[in-house]
Homo-oligomer: A and B are copies of this chain.
Amino acid sequence: MREPLTIRRYQAGDWPSVWSILHHAFSTGDTYAFAPESTEAEVHNIWIEGPQATYVACSSDVGIFGTYILKPNQPGLGSHVCNCGYVVGPAARGKGIGAAMCEHSQNAARSLGFRSMQFNLVVSTNTGAVHLWQKLGFSIVGTLPGAFQHKVHGDVDAYVMFKHLAANRQLNQAPEPTASSGRGSS
């Protein structure tokens, strides 16, 4: 990737690339709870139809190499807290895409009126993601014992991570990649 990173709203034509990235990520069974055998229709529902907004990270020379979703974490009286999930394609790891998407999502969330962001199930063995979220201002506020059936390690703990979103950033300004890549969280 030599061209600048762009993070923008998902468009219907992006689906083949997004599905390819998600299918790979979910099938590994080490990061997301979504069933590894989820069908394309199920994943479309999870990633496109369900969330309030879906974004893609792309460049003009490489195309789409990451995607994230943004939605309220709870209805009504809990809807000021949002939830996001991020996936970076295998060829684009280690380039700060996860960090860039997380920074972008915080700005997007503020613009949509959210006041905090919560990740409900950060797999404890996914240490790269845990450290990245901590570096980006998230705290581990809870530990769920054995709550994730890891494909390799069996039942492992998962973390609940949380961040208050101060109203100090502008949207429409994709941050530059600043950290090693990470995937994870919903």
Q: Taking beta carbons and an 8 Å cutoff, which residues of A are in contact with B? A: 29, 32-36, 38, 74-81, 115-116, 118, 120-121, 141-151, 155, 158, 160, 162, 164
How many Å lie between the Cα of A151 and that of B77 in the bound state?
Answer: 8
Q: Which of B77, B116, B149 contacts A150 (CB 8 A)?
A: B77
CA–CA, A160 to B74, complex, Å? Answer: 13
**Chain A facing B: main interface SS:** strand
Assembly CA distance A108 to B142 (angstroms)? 26
Say yes or no: A142-B145 contact (C-beta < 8 A), given A35-B75, A75-B34: no
Q: How many copies does the complex hold?
A: 2
Jot down 12 A-B pairs with beta carbons below 8 A, ordered by A: A32-B76, A33-B78, A34-B76, A35-B77, A77-B148, A80-B149, A118-B147, A141-B144, A142-B143, A142-B160, A144-B160, A146-B164
Closest A-B pairs by Cβ, 9 of them: A142-B142, A35-B76, A33-B78, A33-B74, A77-B149, A142-B160, A33-B77, A141-B142, A33-B76
Whether B78 lies near A146 (C-beta < 8 A) is no
* B141 x A78 contact (CB < 8 A): no
Residue of B nearest to A118 (CB): B144
- Kindly provide the distance from the CB of A152 to the nearest chain B CB, expressed in whole angstroms: 12
CA distance A13 to B87 in the complex (A): 45
Q: Given the complex of chains A and B, what is the CA–CA distance between A34 and B155 in angstroms?
A: 31
| Cβ B78 vs Cβ A149 within 8 A | yes
Instruction: Choose from B79, B148, B151 the contact partner of A78 (Cβ within 8 Å).
Output: B148
A76 and chain B: residue at smallest CB distance: B35
How close is A6's CB to chain B, nearest CB, in angstroms?
30
